[in-house]
A = this chain, B = another copy of it.
Amino acid sequence: MEVENRYVAVRHHVEGFPSEEDFEVKKVKMRWTPESGEVLVRNLYLSMDPYQLNRMKRRSASHLAVDGIVPGERIESYGAGEVVASACEEYKAGDVVAGVLGWEDYTLFLPSPGVLMSKLAASDDDLPLSHHLSALGTSGMTAYAGFYEVCRPQRGEKVFVSAASGSVGSLVGQFAKLAGCYVVGCAGSNAKVDLVKNQLGFDEAFNYKEELDMRSALKRYFPDGIDIYFDNVGGETLEAALSSMNTYGRVALCGVISEYTDASRRAAPDLLEVIYKRITIRGFFAWDFLTRFGEFTGIIGDLIRQEKVQVIEDISDGLESVPSAFTALFRGENIGKKIVKLA
């Protein structure tokens, strides 16, 4: 079988803020044969994740864990799709899958234990397929593992979440409420603040762009200090959070989006504070908890069905919208998980 496959590529390595002109849509013929052992998937939803920007750089610490993206070539990405042809017993045409696909119309993959791909069970049918890219995908796993396993919250603790309306932050805050914590989020627009506070049930939220000084904002919202900071942004927000942190505070370092586009915005934390407050700062990412993927997404699925957790998604249409959808992440234009739905 042969299909015409369109894929999104970067024209060159991308440093600093990405723009739509950094991307192009290319076309190739993609051939599936029964002898290949491969599975051909028509992609239905693609995940837009800020960390992909680091993969597009010539050099980045992210290359230690995830392959760099080669200009002109296809870009692997989490997604969901429908099997159209399969040379492997495990999958058959019509199966719906979620896992590592690509920013393209079709993806060919060779099933192996190293490939992250889940065949979606019939019991998941009551939840929208797009959720498998957000709360039931890597964002959900990042939020769940990061909050429960890395932060190890106790009832009554004070939790601060940056990028609180984002795919991960919006879940972390809801988990924190379920865990009996006091939780405050910050975000970059009043609409996001409203969502976080009035729809997702955070105790408080504020627009960091309207604060002259992040340190005083945090002192106002955390009169009793911060016990847990779930960091999605790095930079001065991290510095400020450390200065409001309580003894034995924990920082889960999930992302540093402020530094992805501008390495000069690196946080220079007051390490004396880290020592005297005995703070633990721990970097992590979802892959570390892959063996527990089923456990975590099972729990999250139940929470969604019980309406204890809301899933916020921001969906664009069509492969050609990938460049604008992706670059919008760095302008803070998305609310919740940014997803591209293919035709």
Contacts and interface: CB of A to CB of B under 8 A. Distances in A.
Interface stretch (A158-166, A195-203, A282-290): A282-290
B271 A276 contact: no
A285 B279 CA distance: 11
A214 interface: no
Given A266-B268, A267-B268, A268-B266, A274 B285 contact: no
Contact of A259 (B238, B260, B272): B272
Chief secondary structure at chain A's binding surface: mixed
A173 to B, nearest CB: 20
Interface stretch (A35-43, A60-68, A78-86): A60-68
Contacts of A65: 276-277
Nearest to A280: B282
A270 interface: yes
A238 B259 CA distance: 19
A18 interface: no
A255 interface: yes
Given A266-B269, A268-B267, A268-B268, A278 B274 contact: no
Contact of A64 (B64, B238, B276): B276
A282 B278 CA distance: 7
A275 interface: yes
A95 interface: no
Given A281-B280, A285-B278, A266 B271 contact: yes
A339 interface: no
Number of this chain's copies in the assembly equals 2
A234 interface: yes
Given A256-B271, A267-B268, A271-B259, A276 B62 contact: yes
A255 B254 CA distance: 25
Select the residue from A64, A254, A277 with max chain B CB neighbours within 10 A.
A64
A181 interface: no
A323 to B, nearest CB: 23
B271 A278 contact: no
A54 interface: yes
Given A60-B272, A61-B277, A266-B268, 15 more contacts: A61-B273, A62-B272, A64-B247, A64-B273, A65-B276, A253-B271, A253-B274, A260-B272, A267-B268, A267-B271, A273-B283, A277-B283, A278-B284, A280-B282, A280-B283
23 contacts: A54-B272, A60-B272, A61-B270, A61-B273, A61-B275, A62-B276, A64-B273, A64-B277, A253-B274, A256-B271, A259-B271, A259-B272, A260-B272, A266-B268, A266-B270, A266-B271, A267-B269, A269-B269, A278-B284, A279-B282, A279-B283, A280-B281, A281-B281
